């Protein structure tokens, strides 16, 4: 495989948004990905099978599973402090109530299609029971599993995702550069009338002589074409072609799931504040949280592991950045979310799914004509 610069291309060579001269803000991490946060990894299982008319239970299949591991495989039983925010609650994220209650979670995060969310939740518990069985005795088995709807392209009622696919995604999770676009849980997703799915980005934040990382990951599946905005330019209304081909009625069930990770030491209430800034990055791309959209956002910190564990009868201590100093981290969340969504759009190809329904990719030729190609000498 040809080695590509991770800011500009995915490992397989698909262009990312920075391949073009789009004027992003902020300083990205080494890989411009959520995996720039030390210890965080991402794995996928992608299911693409069949063509032609829909036969429920047989396909065509355009779906998958994404696994985001907040800690290395052997340490997934160690909790992370967390906070969440529902920008629009027409969707699902399991484990949300205990996060709201105690400000922490453990186990892998999974993201998939709407009708497989329970499968990935249960598959995660099964994986933990096989690999870290003591974790299920020591804590509640309440993993985070989230979803967006892929029924326009996928046989969503065919229930093709299994526990084995969940295990495959968790087992395959890696650090470093990761693929984006039509992969994992994002395989069948659409954004602004273009093919989208999985996207990621990161920002570095200097504070008090230390450098921290904020990394974001999105499963992007929202928004009408007319709203598409790239760095303040409302391009969607004029970008009429290429069009989607709808051989069956498209139901408006759009959503976006976002996960924000950081190694900066924050308390749960501060992580909720980070999650509340995710909609600002979405709005920069043209997302307005319409009625049918499930916009649910999670933020976690890998810092303070001993405090997150806690022990009965013992005081615990934790480092944290003062609330008054959080503004640069708010910037990092909004900027990385915006770029992650655009990466999900750019690192993509056309896709035809069930019944011949067709979703075009955001045209790369148009991106080059509109923004130009980035100078390879400039990082």
**pLDDT tens per residue, range 194-211:** 999 999 999 999 999 999
Q: 379 pLDDT exceeds 80?
A: no
Least-confidence region, from 11-15, 199-203, 278-282, 312-316? 312-316
| Predicted local distance difference test score (pLDDT) of residue 307 | 86
| Beta strands per DSSP E along the chain | 41-49, 61-69, 80-89, 104-105, 109-113, 145-148, 190-191, 194-195, 198-207, 210-221, 229-230, 233-234, 255-262, 294-301, 351-352, 358-359
Share of the chain above pLDDT 70, in %: 99
Structure tokens at 92: 């699902």
Q: How confident is the model at residue 253 (pLDDT cuts 50, 70, 90)?
A: confident
Q: 191 pLDDT exceeds 50?
A: yes
Which of 303, 306, 349, 315 is CA-nearest to residue 70? Answer: 303
Pick the CATH number of 17-359 from 3.60.70.12, 3.20.20.70, 1.10.1740.10, 3.40.50.300: 3.60.70.12
Rounded Cα distance, 332 and 37, in Å:
13
Domain range list for the chain: 17-359
Are 61 and 154 in contact by the 8 Å Cβ rule? The answer is yes
More confident: 137 or 323:
323
Active site residue 295: yes
| Predicted local distance difference test score (pLDDT) of residue 4 | 84
Mean per-residue pLDDT, 40-56? 98
Active site residue 172: no
Question: Taking the model in full, what pTM does it have?
Answer: 0.97
Q: Which of 182, 293, 301, 336 is catalytic?
A: 293
Which of 59, 153, 146 is CA-nearest to residue 349? Answer: 153
Q: How confident is the model at residue 339 (pLDDT cuts 50, 70, 90)?
A: very high
Kindly state the DSSP code that residue 245 receives in the 8-state scheme. Answer: B
Q: Which of 220, 255, 301, 336 is catalytic?
A: 255
Q: How confident is the model at residue 1 (pLDDT cuts 50, 70, 90)?
A: very low
Q: How confident is the model at residue 275 (pLDDT cuts 50, 70, 90)?
A: very high
What's the pLDDT tens digit per position in 89-121? 999 999 999 999 999 999 999 999 999 999 999
Mean per-residue pLDDT, 232-258? 91
Active site residue 255: yes
User: Across-strand partners of 259?
Assistant: 217, 298
Q: 310 pLDDT exceeds 90?
A: no
Q: Which of 220, 295, 301, 336 is catalytic?
A: 295
| Predicted local distance difference test score (pLDDT) of residue 249 | 79
Averaged confidence pLDDT in the chain: 96
> How many residues in total does the chain contain?
379
């Amino acid at each position: 495989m040809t080695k590509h610069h991770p800011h500009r291309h995915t490992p397989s060579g698909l262009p990312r948004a920075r391949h073009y001269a789009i004027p992003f803000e902020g300083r990205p991490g080494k890989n411009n990905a959520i995996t720039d946060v030390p210890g965080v990894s991402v794995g996928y299982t992608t299911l693409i099978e069949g063509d032609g008319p829909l036969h429920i239970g047989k396909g065509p299949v355009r779906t998958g599973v994404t696994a985001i591991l907040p800690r290395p495989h052997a340490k997934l039983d160690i909790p992370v402090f967390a906070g969440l925010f529902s920008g629009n609650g027409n969707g699902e994220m399991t484990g949300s109530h205990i996060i709201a209650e105690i400000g922490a979670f453990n186990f892998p995060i999974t993201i998939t299609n709407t009708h497989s969310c329970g499968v990935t939740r249960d598959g995660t518990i099964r994986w933990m029971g096989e690999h870290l069985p003591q974790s299920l005795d020591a804590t509640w088995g309440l993993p985070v599993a989230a979803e967006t709807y892929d029924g326009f392209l996928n046989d969503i009622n065919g229930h093709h995702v299994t526990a084995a696919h969940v295990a495959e995604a968790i087992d395959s999770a890696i650090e470093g550069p990761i693929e984006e676009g039509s992969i994992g849980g994002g395989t069948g997703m659409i954004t602004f009338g273009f093919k989208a799915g999985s996207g990621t980005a990161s920002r570095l934040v200097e504070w008090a002589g230390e450098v921290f990382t904020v990394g974001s990951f999105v499963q992007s599946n929202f928004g009408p074409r007319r709203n598409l905005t790239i760095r303040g330019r409302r391009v969607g209304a004029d970008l009429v072609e290429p069009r989607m081909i709808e051989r069956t009625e498209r139901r408006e069930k759009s959503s976006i799931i976002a996960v924000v990770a950081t190694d900066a030491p924050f308390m749960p209430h501060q992580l909720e504040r980070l999650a509340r800034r995710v909609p600002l990055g979405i709005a920069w791309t043209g997302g307005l949280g319409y009625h049918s959209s499930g916009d649910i956002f999670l933020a976690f910190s890998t810092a303070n592991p001993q405090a997150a564990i806690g022990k009965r009868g013992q005081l615990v201590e934790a480092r944290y950045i003062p609330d008054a100093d959080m503004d640069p981290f708010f910037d990092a969340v909004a900027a990385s979310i915006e770029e992650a969504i655009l990466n999900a759009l750019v690192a993509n190809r056309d896709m035809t799914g069930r019944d011949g329904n067709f979703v075009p990719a955001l045209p790369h030729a148009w991106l080059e004509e509109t923004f130009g190609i980035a100078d390879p000498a400039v990082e």
